[in-house]
């Protein structure tokens, strides 16, 4: 045994060795103790905690890994919290779904067993389903909570556990912290009830699918346009994930007749064999779909991540395809929604959209011009869901999204929804095509009207315990020594969401930020640039979001202005030492 290992880590591992854990787990711990001390540290140096996406980690043995026992403990803590919160409810109920990842069904069944062993009714989906359908099912079945087993777009080694409240939104404060507090009260694995009560577990499937798809179809704003453009060729890839269950059906319901699925990626497979990473943000993930689109002369490519809550798109541009980033797709979708709501006479002055603080400011500009209220929230779609909940029955949510490829239209789901987004993006594409335009031409029109906004995300990966410490030090350094100027433009405002203070560096004025505390810093410059810095809540990385803006006088000037904006971002990165 390596003497340099923190004794607390060894002590925690020995609790597992002495406790009521299975022999396979104990043998794996002994192997780490004898031969792999670094892995022992990574497996036990902390307990998995809820971040912006819930519980997420590498699958394996230990308190810092996704396994039967960490999933069981999280479920027991959540079960205890539900019973504390709904003491007069005759039958507390939850819904459970899972994605296509390795062990996802296994973890979903363990979760169902622990809930049912605690006397909680469980609605368990029969097979893999999109994360947003879980959010919908909670609301449709009047559940008090829900769980989806997924690690979203993380590499194949990961799995995760997203917890939801009775509104269909992911847990937010105080519920997220309180659930963790309940989990931390579990002193022994013997406190977890693993023996399920099968009488309390009900399998659900098609009946929920049908209601969900019907509600999605009712969101359509231009059915007559789709009738005229029904033969638009669309290539769709679920990237080996859950989107295959509902996205093609929803597109068909909308009236699209030419939906071509990428066959080799239509197979649900937790090893994601055809991609390096099943992340629609990464161009490589769309390569096979784009190749197929070129072969059949398609117009639009749609790609959803493994749990089908995010979507990436590529649009035809001559003989090639252009990949849209999350801010561009959000811009096109929100522009379409606002335009059609106005044309259809649906704007009454009581509507709103929501975006996250790191998403393009162009959405706010469009909302203002259309006299639609908008709200900024912290990163994480659960905060968008919270705004929708806050105004339920008072104001109407049109739509919203975040730069990380997550969008929502309508309020019957309370999480980002790629089934809805694919359907509405395809409709927006048909609407633009019907006007004899392309999506890129529309985007240039928007930039001419509102200004050319350009964004870039840079992620700095720092893995493990030492990496987490390095990320925290980077944030501390930015707070102690913030940049005075970026790309030659003076920093005029700093927003620190951890101290909830927005400081105007010119006047010295300080304004309170009315959002939950979060480890995020934002720097705003005199020329309108915005830089946001935050450690990821779900991955071992620190993220830098850059947003810059210039006027676009004509479509012909697009390329030159685009290069100038790229140069500005490069200069800001140099100033930050990236």
Q: How far apart are CA 21 and CA 464, in angstroms?
A: 25
User: At a CB cut-off of 8 Å and minimum separation 6, what does 234 contact?
Assistant: 251, 256, 258, 259, 260, 298, 299, 300, 301, 302, 426
The strand pair at 233-237 and 258-261 is best described as: parallel
Q: Which of 115, 13, 5, 30 minimizes the C-alpha distance to 65? A: 13
Contact 286, 301 (CB under 8 A): yes
User: Which residue of the set 152, 404, 423, 518 is catalytic?
Assistant: 152
Is residue 180 helix, strand or coil? helix
Beta bridge partners of 200: none
Could you tell me the CA-to-CA distances from 445 to 23, 35, 237, 451 in Å, in that order? Answer: 64, 62, 29, 10
Cβ proximity of 422 and 236 under 8 Å: yes
Q: Annotate 188-205 with b (16+ C-beta within 10 A) or e (fewer).
A: ebeebbbebbeebbeebe
Q: Write the DSSP string, 206-256.
A: HHHHHHHHHHHHTT-S-HHHHHHTTT-EEEEE-TTSGGGGTHHHHHHHHT-
Per the rule left: phi > 0, alpha: psi between -120 and 50, beta: everything else, 331 is alpha
What Cα–Cα distance (Å) separates residue 432 from each residue in 29, 218, 331?
58, 20, 14
Q: Is 152 among the residues known to form the active site? A: yes
**Interstrand relation of 93-98 and 121-125 (parallel, antiparallel or unpaired):** parallel
Pairing of strands 406-409, 452-461: unpaired
CB 225, CB 427: distance < 8 Å: yes
Cα(465)–Cα(401) distance, integer angstroms: 32
DSSP H or E segment with residue 105 = helix 104-117
In contact, 321 and 290? CB cutoff 8 Å: yes
Residues 6+ apart with CB under 8 A from 243: 130, 236, 304, 308, 418, 419, 422
- 158 Cβ partners below 8 Å, 6+ apart? 56, 57, 58, 59, 66, 101, 151
Sorted by sequence, the CB contacts under 8 Å of residue 194 that are 6+ apart come out as: 72, 110, 113, 114, 117
Q: How far is CA 474 from the centre of its chain?
A: 24
Tokens matching residue 422: 């694919």
Neighbours of 436 (CB within 10 A): 7
Catalogue the active-site residues.
152
């Amino acid at each position: 045994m390596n003497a340099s290992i923190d004794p607390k880590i060894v002590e925690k591992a020995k609790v597992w060795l002495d406790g009521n854990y299975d022999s396979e787990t104990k043998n794996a711990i002994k192997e780490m103790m004898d031969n792999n001390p670094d892995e022992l540290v990574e497996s036990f140096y902390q307990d998995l905690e809820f971040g912006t996406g819930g519980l997420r980690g590498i699958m394996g043995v230990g308190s810092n890994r996704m396994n039967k026992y960490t999933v069981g403990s999280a479920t027991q803590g959540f079960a205890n919290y539900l019973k504390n919160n709904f003491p007069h409810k005759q039958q507390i109920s939850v819904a459970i779904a899972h994605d296509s990842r390795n062990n996802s069904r296994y973890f979903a069944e363990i979760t169902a067993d622990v809930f049912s062993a605690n006397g909680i009714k469980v609605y368990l989906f029969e097979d893999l389903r999109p994360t947003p359908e879980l959010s919908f099912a909670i609301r449709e079945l009047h559940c008090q909570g829900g769980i989806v087993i997924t690690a979203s777009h993380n590499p194949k080694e990961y799995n995760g556990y997203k917890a939801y409240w009775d509104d269909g939104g992911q847990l937010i404060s105080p519920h997220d912290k309180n659930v963790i507090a309940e989990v931390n009260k579990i002193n022994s694995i013997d406190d977890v009830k693993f023996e399920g009560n099968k009488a309390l577990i009900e399998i659900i499937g098609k009946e929920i699918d049908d209601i969900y798809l019907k509600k999605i179809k009712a969101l359509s704003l231009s059915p007559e346009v789709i009738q005229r453009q029904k033969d638009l060729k669309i290539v769709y890839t679920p990237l080996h994930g859950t989107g295959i269950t509902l996205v093609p059906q929803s597109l068909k319901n909308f009236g699209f007749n030419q939906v071509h699925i990428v066959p080799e990626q239509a197979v649900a497979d937790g090893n994601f064999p055809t991609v390096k990473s099943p992340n629609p943000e990464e161009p490589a993930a769309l390569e096979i779909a784009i190749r197929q689109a070129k072969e059949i002369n398609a117009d639009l490519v749609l790609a959803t991540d493994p749990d089908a809550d995010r979507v990436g798109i590529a649009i035809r541009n001559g003989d090639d395809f252009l990949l849209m980033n999350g801010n561009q797709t959000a811009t096109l979708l929100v522009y379409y929604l606002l335009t059609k709501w106005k044309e259809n006479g649906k704007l009454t002055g009581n509507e709103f959209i929501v975006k996250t603080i790191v998403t393009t400011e162009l959405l706010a500009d469009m909302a203002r011009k259309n006299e639609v209220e908008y709200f900024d929230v912290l990163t994480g779609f659960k905060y968008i869901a919270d705004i929708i909940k806050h105004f339920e029955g008072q104001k109407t949510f049109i739509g919203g999204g975040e730069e990380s490829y997550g969008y929502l239209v309508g309020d019957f789901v309370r999480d980002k929804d790629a089934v809805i987004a694919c359907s509405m993006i395809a409709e927006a594409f048909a609407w633009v095509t019907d006007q004899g335009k392309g999506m890129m031409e529309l985007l240039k029109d928007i930039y001419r009207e509102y200004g050319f906004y350009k964004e870039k995300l840079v992620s700095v990966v720092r893995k493990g315990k030492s990496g987490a410490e390095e990320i925290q030090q980077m944030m501390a350094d930015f707070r102690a020594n913030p940049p005075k100027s970026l790309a030659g433009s003076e920093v005029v405002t700093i927003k620190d969401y951890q101290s909830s203070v927005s400081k105007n560096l010119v006047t010295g004025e300080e304004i309170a930020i009315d959002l939950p505390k979060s480890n995020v810093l934002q720097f705003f410059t005199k020329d309108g640039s915005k830089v946001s810095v935050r450690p990821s809540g779900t991955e071992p990385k620190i993220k830098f979001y850059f947003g810059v803006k210039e006027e676009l006088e004509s479509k012909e000037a697009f390329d030159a202005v685009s290069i100038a904006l790229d140069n500005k971002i490069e200069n800001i990165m140099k100033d930050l030492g990236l």
